Structure 1
């Protein structure tokens, strides 16, 4: 696994980012953005594409009250459903890239790479900062 990169400004709550991206993921985001323009991400919760981070052209996926803006990666917003957030809220999501075919609705599908979500538990200080910021 590549080490996480620093997220874009504005995505950290209390100094703690809830979603970050590895250098490999940031490079793929830049490549996709060059082809498609502004992007958005949503952490999929199942069915067709499993539990994968999905990449869409900005605005192609309508978000609503059941979705939560977790932060941004590569300057692009990253959303997660409220139910998925409840399951993963104690972890920082680390978006990485591995060889393979992405989800059928995700823009990286034809690149030969796919986004993958890894995670790590927050330490006590990070959790306290997130609580203080009202982010969990």
Structure 2
């Protein structure tokens, strides 16, 4: 499995341990840079259901309306390419607070939402958005690229879980 390399805006730190619900691989970050250049600001929604309904869907920001039936998991930070270590790599600095997100500089955030009913099942997991070859059947923006986003998950460690509980973020 590819390791997540992109930071999270507004992540919480408890006892020096960063706690985030969602991250992104470098490959997914590169694809998001391409999609943003074409479509402008972006968002993800991870709905429940079968087939592609359980894949993260990437939309132009605001095209998918969120409401009380959705949970905001966090904002993926795609750092300016000049600060990412490798130009255009999609990686971000470890501390999002230190990342200049001036759009003219190439940095941006992508909010990630999940349906509340799906969140009830996945609240114990850290999610990583990745990209693989293939074409999904949904309306996600990456479909014409011959790629599809997917979500990889792992259970939170005890330390992460206790930090989230202490913050009232469960």
TM tier, smaller: over 0.9
How far apart are 1:62 and its partner, in Å?
A: 0.6
Aligned equivalent of 1:60: 63
State whether structure 2 residue 42 is matched by structure 1 residue 39: yes
Alignment of 1:1-136 (within 5 A): 1-10=1-10, 12-14=11-13, 15-47=18-50, 49-73=52-76, 74=78, 75-136=109-170
Give the paired residue count.
135
The unaligned stretches of length 5 or more in structure 1 are none
TM-score scaled by length of structure 2: 0.75
Aligned to 2:101: none
Bigger mean CA deviation after superposition, 51-60 or 41-50: 41-50
Misfit runs of 4+, over 6 Å: none
Q: TM-score, normalised by structure 1?
A: 0.93
Task: Tell me, in whole angstroms, the C-alpha distance in 2 between the residues paired with 1:134 and 1:103.
Answer: 37
Whole-angstrom CA distance in 1 between matches of 2:73 and 2:114 = 7
| 8 Å Cα contact 1:19/1:95 also seen in 2 | yes
2 CA distance for matches of 1:99 and 1:123?
A: 30
Cα RMSD (Å): 1.3
Contact 2:8 2:22 in 1 (8 A): no
Q: Is the radius of gyration larger for structure 1 or structure 2?
A: 2
Counterpart Cα distance in 1 of 2:164 and 2:132: 29
CA displacement at 1:48 relative to structure 2: 6.0
Q: Structure 2: which 5+ runs fail to align? A: 79-108
